[in-house]
Structure 1
Amino acid sequence: MRYVYMNRFSNVISVFLVLVFASPVFAAPEVGKPAPEFAMQDTEGNDVSLTELRGKTVVLEWFNDGCPYVRKHYGSNNMQALQNEAVADGVVWVTVISSAPGKQGYVTAEEGNALTAKHGASPTHLLLDPEGTLGKAYDARTTPHMYIIDPKGELVYMGGIDDKPTANPADIDGANNYVRSALAELKSGTSITSPTTRPYGCSVKYSS
């Protein structure tokens, strides 16, 4: 009887260890530390890696077209204006869709490119992350969730796009756009006033 009990106990432990070590474990990203590396293809088939982007400022933006908070910033042209300003200043803007198949916001490459054209958006790259690997590496929790990586590859900002956590476009006027401010401070060489803020929006629609 004792042998049967021990055998079952060993089986339980074995299953537990398999589940623990089979799942990727990500350290939470920290401002002031190297940003999590990634290497993927964008929706145009171009290779995109953080290593190759070293020397440039990079913005990561998590996107879900079905989210009312995302629609707030795209329907008002607020996000597109910020993209245009950043890209014109040499920033690499990477929009990321981490919605899993069957979940709100999931798109194919063709559908993603069509959405970019429909919104008149101008990201440098659109990355699809249906398995959630990139999103979980960055601990992306909301759409939008914004990150800024400096030319040295360090994470210098993560959080919300601004300080008005609503889905109402009327609240954009007068809001403190954290991303715009952080980019300006990074360019001028001054310390970023608010390097970490609370992200707001819809939850990222991971598979689990």
Structure 2
Amino acid sequence: MKNLFFSALAAVILLASCQPTAPSFNLSGKLDGAADKVVVLSIYDKDGVNVKDTLTITEGVINYSTELSEPVFVMIGEAGTRNTLNFFAENVDYTLNGTLETIAEAEVTGGAVYNVYKSVSEADKEAREKNAELKKAYGEAGQAGDTTKQKAIYDEYQANQEAFEKVQAEVVEVNPASPAAAFIVFNMYRHRGIEEMKEGLAMLDASLATSTYYIALSEKIEKLEAVAVGQMAPDFTMNDTEGNPVSLSSFKGKYLLVDFWASWCGPCRRENPHVVELYTEFKDKGFDILGVSLDQKKDAWLKAIEDDKLTWSHVSDLKGWGNEAAKLYAVSGIPHTVLLDKEGKIIAKNLRGDELRAKVAELLN
């Protein structure tokens, strides 16, 4: 009976040892200069960059493993810094060799998905270096008052950007079913118009429909279509500067400018004097403004309102780019304006300066 028990136990152990293990992302190699440093692995997905894990590095030796739910774009570097090594990861073996101080230049080997994205990564590095040179030259030409040279430098900058986009498009064309292609398309098209986003998705193989990046771009298209010109503005409620709830729908009966901005946004602050003039001119003619701040610090938000003399209604949930109204309206950059008619229908978007004044004057005069 005893022998029978041990035979059965041995069979169970043998069976368990024969079961295939789940594939994982395994990272090994050497990273000098990481002693006493917190090195993190972050993932860039539809919710932005989020820290996934902390890497344990002993005497410079990396021995890390995790299971990724799908191939994703990862960033490795010292916590709290922008000095990172960026690449595409999947559940296979990777190696990394370099120093923490210059981790962006570290040598990496990986799987098929890594290799698909590698050419884009190299082209991105070249484009950034070239753009840095052009930016410096543009500033020098400006100091010298040479507007002709500035125009030539700007044209060269545009050509450099177009060349980089061409590289990305070619990689997607050759590898339409690669998860890396979904990320490339997401990165290229996420700040563009609805039709261009749809064209980007059409470049990808149908097998990528479950990819995080394909889904993210699809969801953004849906959100943008819901807040397109001609649609009724989705209602939202958010607290004002005194903590009182204010609803967008409470402004019905007036033409309303919904102004997404923040105290830390230079272009927003430069635009504010024009918005003040607009409000002063039309506030008694059936026009109002609702400022929606993407601030995180209440004191900075309130000070900017006071300093810029913004006397209309203001709301914020102090979540920064996580602002719920900004997400509802698919805001990807500020300043961002949405103009509503008296019934709450969207009649114009992203008007500023003279163009905005002309539109409001047309409606109210």
Q: Do they superpose with TM above 0.5?
A: yes
- 2:336 matched residue in structure 1: 145
Is 1:55 the counterpart of 2:253 in the alignment? yes
Confirm or deny that 1:87 pairs with 2:264.
no
Q: Which has the higher helix share?
A: 2
Quick one: which amino acid aligns to residue 51 of structure 1?
S
Distance 1:62 1:153, change over 3 A: same
Match of 1:123 in 2: 312
Q: Could you tell me whether the CA contact under 8 Å between 1:62 and 1:98 is conserved in 2?
A: yes
Letter in 1 for 2:223: A
User: Is the Cα contact below 8 Å between 2:286 and 2:364 reproduced in 1?
Assistant: no
Identity %: 22
Give the residue type in structure 1 aligned to 2:308. H
Q: Which residue of 2 aligns with 1:132?
A: 323
Q: Is residue 263–residue 300 contact of structure 2 (8 Å, CA) maintained in 1? A: no
In structure 1, give the amino acid aligned to 2:253: G
Shift of 1:83: 2.5
Show the counterpart of 1:182: 359
The one-letter code of the counterpart of 1:186 is L
Q: Aligned residue for 1:78? A: 274
User: Deviation digits for residues 30-68 of structure 1, max 9, x if unmatched?
Assistant: 101101211112112232112222222211112122333
Query: Is contact 1:97-1:129 (8 Å) kept?
Result: yes
In structure 2, the CA distance between the partners of 1:69 and 1:55, relative to structure 1 (3 Å rule), is same
- Which residue of the partner structure matches residue 67 of structure 1? 265
Q: Which amino acid aligns with 1:123?
A: W
Residue in 1 aligned with 2:242? 44
Between the aligned partners of 2:238 and 2:269, the Cα distance in structure 1 is 26
Change (3 A) 1:127 1:84: farther
CA contact (8 A) 2:259 2:292 kept: yes
Q: Which residue of 1 aligns with 2:302?
A: 113
- Secondary structure of the equivalent of 2:250? coil
Q: Do 1:43 and 1:128's aligned partners in 2 also have CA atoms closer than 8 Å?
A: no
SS at match of 1:143: coil
Q: Which amino acid aligns with 2:301?
A: G
Aligned residues: 159
* Corresponding position of 1:191: none
Q: Which has the higher strand share?
A: 2
Larger RCO of the pair (alpha carbons < 8 Å, separation 6+): 1
CA 1:183–1:160: 2 relative to 1, 3 Å: closer
CA distance in 1, matches of 2:230, 2:264: 32
- 1:18-37 equivalence runs, <5 A: 27-28=223-224, 29-37=227-235
Q: Which amino acid aligns with 2:290?
A: V
Q: After superposition, give the CA deviation of every residue in 1:67-104 in whole Å (9 maximum; x if it has no partner).
A: 33123223xx32321232233333221111124xxxxx
Q: CA deviation at 1:182?
A: 1.6
CA drift of 1:136 comes to 1.7
* One-letter code aligned to 2:325: L
**Could you tell me which residue of structure 2 aligns to residue 193 of structure 1?**
none
CA distance in 2, matches of 1:78, 1:96: 17
Task: Check whether the contact 1:87–1:124 (CA below 8 A) recurs between aligned residues.
Answer: no
Q: What is the DSSP-based 3-state SS (H/G/I as helix, E as strand, rest coil) of the residue aligned with 2:325?
A: helix
* Residues 156 and 147 of structure 1, relative CA distance in 2, 3 Å threshold: same
User: 1:33·1:154 contact (CA, 8 Å) conserved in 2?
Assistant: yes
**Hey, what's the Cα distance between the residues in 1 that align with 2:246 and 2:268?**
24
Tell which structure's C-alpha radius of gyration is larger: 2
Q: Which runs of 5+ in 1 are unaligned?
A: 100-105, 163-176, 189-208
Question: CA 1:67 to 1:113, structure 2 compared with 1: closer, same or farther past 3 Å?
Answer: closer
Task: Describe the superposition over 1:134-190 as per-residue Cα deviations: whole angstroms up to 9, x where unpaired.
Answer: 11211223221111111111001101414xxxxxxxxxxxxxx222122122225xx
* Secondary structure of the corresponding residue to residue 356 of structure 2: helix
